[in-house]
Structure 1
C-alpha cells in the first residue's frame, strides 16, 4: 500500500525548499510542523515512519491521549498550537515540548508553575493578534514587550519567539503585509532577548509569504494528512 502521507511530506518539503531558495534562505532553517489534530494515531505513525518528528495538536485531551499512546517514540517533538483554557494548562505543561499560543501572563505563569522539574523548560511562543481582529486570539502588538518583561522571572518556561495567524487572504501581497509586521516585532524582541529564534508563521495557504518574511516553523495539516475528519 502506498504511504500517501510520506508522499505528501516530500511534496511539502519540496515547496518549503523552493520558497526558501527564492527568498535567499537556507531551507534547513525552516521546520515543518505536521498538524495532526483530528487525525488518528496511525496517520502520525505513517508520518513518523517517513522520517517526520514534529507534530502539532490543537485540542488538549486529544493531544495528551496521542502522546500517551506514542510514548515509546521518544524522539517526537510535540507542539500545542491551539487556544488554552487555564484549567487545562497542567496537561500541556506536563506533556508537551512546545506551546505556541500563550496570550496572557496568567497562562505563562501557570505553565511555569506546573512544568515538572525533571523536564526541560517548556518552549513557548507568544501569540500575536497581528491584524487586531476581534475574533482572533493573541495579544495586541503594543502589549508584547510588557508581557515579555513580566515573564522574565519564569524559569520553567523558555520564550523562544512569536506565533501569529494573519487575517484570511489568498493574495500574497496582503499576506506579506501581515507577516512583515510580525517579522518587525520579532526583530525588536531579538535585540533584547537572545533566546528568541522562533517565528511560527505560515500555514498551507501562505507558506511562500511566510518564508519570505522569516518564518522558522510552518504549520501544515491538510496538505500532509488530507482533509480534516
Structure 2
C-alpha cells in the first residue's frame, strides 16, 4: 500500500513533468493538499513528507484540525463555499480564501480580519462553465467585483479560481482553464494566482498557467463522507 509520502512524491513528479511539458518552471506551480474528511494525523504525516499548504472545505472540521496541529507551520487555505455567518472564523484562522464570489463576503472578510495580521489572500471564483449549480461570479461580473475587492483593507486580491465542469476530454479541460487565464490577463497583470486543476485534470491546468493545483483524492485516496 502506498504511503502519503509516496503519493506526494508521485504528484510532485506529475507537476514537474506537466510544467516542463508546458515550458514552465516547476517551481511556479504549488501543490495545495485538500484534506477534507481526512484526519489531522494524515495532515501531520503529509507535513513530515514536505507538504505545508493545506486546503479545507468545511469550517468546523478545519478548526478542529488547526487546533490539533497548532505546533506545525502550516499555511491554511479555505476553498469551500462561504456563508455569511462563517466569515469571522475564516478571517481569523486562514491565510488564503479561494472561493470568494460576491462582494458581501469579501467585505465581511475585510472587516473581520484581525488587526496586526497579514492581509488575507483572496481568489475570486469564476463560473467558467456557466453551470447553474456551480458557485462563482460570471465572467461579465468579474471586473467590477475585482475592482471593489482591491479597494478593501485587510484583504489582498491575488487572482482567480475555478472548478470547471468535469470532463476527460483534454482539449475541453484546457479550453476552460484557458478562459480563466485570459480573464486574469485582462483583469490585472499584477495578479499572480490561478487556482485551478485537481487530481484528474492538473496537467491541463498547468499547461494553461495554474499556479495552485488543489489535490485531494490523488494524495489521500477516496474521501469518506460517513453514513448518509
TM-score (norm 1): 0.96
Unaligned runs of 5+ in 1: none
Residue in structure 2 matched with residue 210 of structure 1 by the alignment: 205
Residue in structure 2 matched with residue 78 of structure 1 by the alignment: 76
1:147 matches 2:145: yes
The Cα of 1:68 is off from its aligned counterpart by 1.5
1:155-194 map, 5 Å: 155-191=153-189, 194=190
Number of matched pairs = 224
TM-score (norm 2): 0.96
Distance in 2 between the 1:204 and 1:151 partners? 30
Residue pair 2:119, 2:156 contacting (<8 A) in 1 also: yes
Distance in 1 between the 2:55 and 2:171 partners? 27
Unaligned runs of 5+ in 2: none
Residue in structure 2 matched with residue 56 of structure 1 by the alignment: 55
Distance in 2 between the 1:35 and 1:149 partners? 29
The Cα of 1:168 is off from its aligned counterpart by 1.2
Residue pair 1:3, 1:46 contacting (<8 A) in 2 also: no
Say which of 189, 200, 210 aligns to 2:195: 200
Distance in 2 between the 1:149 and 1:189 partners? 9
Distance in 2 between the 1:62 and 1:3 partners? 26
Distance in 2 between the 1:13 and 1:37 partners? 20
Runs of 4+ in 1 over 3 A off after TM superposition: none
Residue deviations 1:48-84, cap 9 Å, x none? 11111001000011111111111111x2110000001
